[in-house]
Amino acid sequence: MPTALIIMIVVIVIAVVIAGTKSFNTSKRLAEDGKIAPRQGAFYEEAELFTTTATYEGICEKIKSVDLSDTKASIQYDFEGQKTIFFKSNDGWNAALDWLGEDDGKNRFRFYFPAWRVSRNGIVNTMSMNVTLTAIEKAILALDPTATVESRKLQTKRQ
């Protein structure tokens, strides 16, 4: 085997080990800080439906006080004139929390990821997506500890 090929393989292996270690350490830190929750599979392909006494306005105020710097996302409130909080991340994904209306004195909200970037290695930075979802869950539960959540699979299409 030529020396250049061996050197290239060693460099690639070292790069993969360094990247994996960095990702593991970041994930461990975020979990210890309570910024991410354990998630099963492709959580970004599901919508979370919240039923709560918390109001849209209360959730907006709560989210404004949450540290979302790990998401690299800009946040727009009342997106496109609707009661929607829109997250646009520099990591290549978008998320939205939509107010769906009121039913029996409780507000219904839907949180979902309408778009994300995929590379040949898979979804780009699901960790920051998890940080955002965890922050939304915590914000709603802080306002209403009796809030309920239900997950529903989204219909997605690959491009």
Q: Could you read off the pLDDT of 122-147 as tens digits, one per residue?
A: 666 788 899 999 999 999 999 999 99
Name 96's bridge partners.
86, 112
- Would residue 159 count as lying in a domain? no
Same-domain status, 26 and 84 = no
Same-domain status, 113 and 68 = yes
Q: How many domains does the chain have?
A: 2
Same-domain status, 83 and 15 = no
Same-domain status, 6 and 73 = no
Range of the domain at 11: 1-33
Same-domain status, 9 and 62 = no
Pairing state between β 106-116 and 46-52:
antiparallel
- Would residue 85 count as lying in a domain? yes
15 pLDDT band, cuts 50/70/90, is: low
Global confidence as pTM: 0.76
